[in-house]
Chain A
Amino acid sequence: MAKHLSGRRPPRIGDAPKFRRALIGIVLFFVAVVVIAPLAVIASHAFSKGLPYFTAAIAEPDTRHAIMLTVLTALIAVPINTAFGIAAAWAITKHDFPGRRLLLIVIEIPFSISPIVAGVSYLFVYGLQGLFGPVLEAAELKIMFALPGIVLASMFVTAPFVARELIPLMQAQGRDLEEAATSLGASGWRTFFTVTLPNIKWALLYGVVLCNSRVMGEFGAVSVVSGNIRGQTNTLPLHIELLYHDYDAVGAFAAASILATLAVITLVVKVALERQGAGRRSRPASLAGNDSLSEVKP
């Protein structure tokens, strides 16, 4: 229908050639300046002193430690938030309870609050001078300026990701499938693993991927609670900043390129998942009788 059959008919709104060219031009320019150029610069700077320097920068113990810490944080925070996201989506979409709508809003709070606010508030709660400070000190539990604090801050920031992906999908699917499975005699767990999970798996993976990329890249909240102890509580994003302030530009760019690589991998996985019918806006693949879901056998 995009073709103009006759010149007499005015183009549809926003379809004039001049407007179209200008619009596309502006977008391309914007993407080049804002997105492509910085990424290209990271890559070129990271390799500017040659591959050996790059590998040496990566092999530097503090950088390696930062990478390991970031991965470890993700390994803890992402599964917990995934479980939380599924539980929250399940509770909100399959059950009626007072405060359901409020919970929906509360889950979204981390999206709208600046991560640094989250970091500072954690400090007030778990820090030495904080609410639970004396108790934690007495129990010799170190949460602030240690791994638990980093994980907690990361979890706060990424809490909504999985739930936000699942809720619209599960709302669209309704409760019929679970009710059908239960009426046929399936237990709750059985229902979840053989009926619910296969129908939300792509959206779930999509949420996990988004959650993971955010955990790995989180800077603001973590920078408050980690204490920036080199080789101990420095995550990769914090370490990059540290290297940069040390005037080790190549080291900083090398570390940044690692983080960027992780992000690009995430992006590729995300696009692949979107092709499978995940993502919020697409119709639930399951309802369309998508063949790609057919490999799942209970």
Chain B
Amino acid sequence: MKIRLDNVVKTFDTFRAVHGVSLDIESGELLALLGPSGSGKTTILRMVAGLEYADGGHIYFGTEDATDIPVRDRGVGFVFQHYALFPHMTVSENIAFGMKVSKVKRSPEAIRERVEELLALVQLSGLGERFPGQISGGQRQRVALARALAVDPRVLLLDEPFGALDANVRRDLRRWLRRIHDELGITTLFVTHDQEEALDLADRVVILDKGMIVQQGTPEEVCRHPENAFVMRFLGDANSLPATVRDGMAYVQDVAYDAAGLADGTAEVLFRPADVAWREDGQGVPAHIVRVLDRPDSRRVLAKTTGGQSVEFDTAPEFPHRKGEAGFIDVRRPRIYKNG
């Protein structure tokens, strides 16, 4: 089912949570809404679900205008951040709930069969008689997914699906969710503030800030071509050096970077910690090392330029230099953005 958001607006009291967001979600696509807290990503998800109503704009499911269809009749599967399993029902009863209350009548045998099928799908066969309080967080999340899938939703919506789990469980569940999605081919929309999760899982990532879409694209597109400083910073560690643009070149202290097409004025040069080489031959921005941190697979160096800016970069574990030594920061893939 293809989902289309057309200029959707939501305002809470006086706070504008979502400003005119337009978005196409292709049928069978796995799409991530990524943004910091307060960016409006959960509100968008809840509007697609029908848990909030849009104040303006339209939401289409296929060709049908679903904007005003109540959540009950919208046919969405919603997985809540804290699972929202019914604590007084067993795992099986939780999964069967949607089928029991459905307008489509199913025989008890058919329901039981479907529950078994779903338990197998989420790899929880044999745990059907447990209560939610008796299983682990990761298992609960899988029950929540099975429950949402039980009603054959047109679209699957997940709100920070792994937010409350340990890092290890998180990664396993992520890969597992991708497998389930590929198996079922259901249009899926999920919300996260974790860029690693979004890039790892999604076909396409939509990055939001302050209720607006700042960039959307495949993980490759957003990683390789961040459109502005916010995206660049949000997707990972980034160093920033103030620069001045003159005649298509950006100058940091005396070092020039290609800034073709940028108007003259102040700008900033952003780059990833991995895109730095430490040199002693005078090429790059002069700096001295402040601290060296050891990590399992690399060494992170904290340096300060002669202009007083802090820069962090990653080197091989064999990096020989120590605190206090002076040298030059050579930036490999600088990205230059105008200020403001």
The residues of A with any CB-CB pair to B shorter than 8 Å are: 176-177, 179-187, 190, 194-195, 198-199, 286-291, 293-294, 296-298
- Contact (Cβ within 8 A) B51 A187: no
- Contact (Cβ within 8 A) A184 B88: no
- Contact (Cβ within 8 A) A298 B97: yes
- Contact (Cβ within 8 A) A184 B82: no
Q: How many angstroms from the CA of A186 to the CA of B88 in the assembled complex?
A: 16
Q: Which residue of the partner chain, among A179, A194, A287, contacts B87 with CB atoms under 8 Å?
A: A287
Give residues 74-112 of B contacting A (CB, 8 Å): 74, 76-78, 80, 82, 84-90, 93, 97-98, 100-103
Residues of A within 8 A of B101 (CB): 181, 184-187, 190, 194
Q: Which residue of B has the minimal Cβ distance to A290?
A: B133
A selection of 13 A-B contacts at a CB cut-off of 8 Å is A177-B84, A179-B51, A180-B78, A180-B84, A181-B101, A184-B150, A185-B103, A185-B151, A199-B87, A199-B88, A287-B133, A289-B87, A289-B133
**Shortest Cβ gap from B333 to chain A (Å):** 44
Q: Which residue of B has the minimal Cβ distance to A178?
A: B84
- Contact (Cβ within 8 A) A183 B78: yes
Q: Which residue of A has the minimal Cβ distance to B130?
A: A289
- Contact (Cβ within 8 A) A184 B147: yes
- Contact (Cβ within 8 A) A297 B78: no
Give residues 237-295 of B contacting A (CB, 8 Å): none
New A-B contacts (9) at CB < 8 Å, excluding given A184-B151, A185-B73, A294-B88? A180-B147, A182-B71, A185-B102, A185-B103, A186-B101, A286-B87, A286-B88, A289-B87, A289-B132
**Shortest Cβ gap from B161 to chain A (Å):** 14
**Shortest Cβ gap from A194 to chain B (Å):** 8
Given A183-B76, A289-B132, A290-B133: A176 and B84 within 8 A (CB)? yes
Give residues 89-144 of B contacting A (CB, 8 Å): 89-90, 93, 97-98, 100-103, 131-134
- Contact (Cβ within 8 A) B72 A182: yes
Q: Which residue of B has the minimal Cβ distance to A186?
A: B101
Size bracket of the B interface = 20 to 34
Q: How many angstroms from the CA of A289 to the CA of B87 in the assembled complex?
A: 6
Q: Which residue of B has the minimal Cβ distance to A177?
A: B84
Q: Which residue of B has the minimal Cβ distance to A285?
A: B87
Q: Which residue of B has the minimal Cβ distance to A291?
A: B131
- Contact (Cβ within 8 A) A296 B88: yes
Given A177-B86, A199-B87: A184 and B98 within 8 A (CB)? yes
- Contact (Cβ within 8 A) A289 B93: no
- Contact (Cβ within 8 A) A176 B80: yes
Quick one: which of B88, B89, B103, B131 has the most chain A CB within 10 A? B88
Q: How many angstroms from the CA of A187 to the CA of B103 in the assembled complex?
A: 10
Q: Which residue of A has the minimal Cβ distance to B90?
A: A294
Residues of B within 8 A of A289 (CB): 87, 131-134
Q: How many angstroms from the CA of A229 to the CA of B232 in the assembled complex?
A: 83
Residues of B within 8 A of A198 (CB): 88
**Shortest Cβ gap from B328 to chain A (Å):** 55
- Contact (Cβ within 8 A) A298 B133: no
Q: Which residue of A has the minimal Cβ distance to B89?
A: A298
Q: How many angstroms from the CA of A183 to the CA of B86 in the assembled complex?
A: 13
Q: How many angstroms from the CA of A187 to the CA of B132 in the assembled complex?
A: 23
Q: Which residue of the partner chain, among A183, A187, A294, contacts B131 with CB atoms under 8 Å?
A: A294
Residues of B within 8 A of A294 (CB): 88, 90, 131
Q: How many angstroms from the CA of A194 to the CA of B151 in the assembled complex?
A: 18
Q: How many angstroms from the CA of A293 to the CA of B133 in the assembled complex?
A: 11
Q: Does B49 contact A (CB under 8 A)?
A: yes
Q: How many angstroms from the CA of A181 to the CA of B151 in the assembled complex?
A: 12
- Contact (Cβ within 8 A) B88 A293: yes
- Contact (Cβ within 8 A) B133 A186: no
Per-residue A-contact encoding for B36-74, CB less than 8 Å = 1, 0 else: 000000000000011100000000000000000001111
Residues of B within 8 A of A293 (CB): 87-88
**Shortest Cβ gap from B106 to chain A (Å):** 12
Residues of B within 8 A of A181 (CB): 86, 97, 101
Q: Which residue of B has the minimal Cβ distance to A292?
A: B88
Quick one: which of A179, A180, A181, A290 has the most chain B CB within 10 A? A180
- Contact (Cβ within 8 A) B72 A195: no
Quick one: which of A182, A187, A293 has the most chain B CB within 10 A? A182
Q: How many angstroms from the CA of A183 to the CA of B84 in the assembled complex?
A: 12
**Shortest Cβ gap from B278 to chain A (Å):** 50
Residues of A within 8 A of B76 (CB): 183
What 4 pairs between A and B have smallest CB-CB spacing? A289-B133, A184-B98, A176-B84, A180-B84
Residues of B within 8 A of A290 (CB): 87, 133
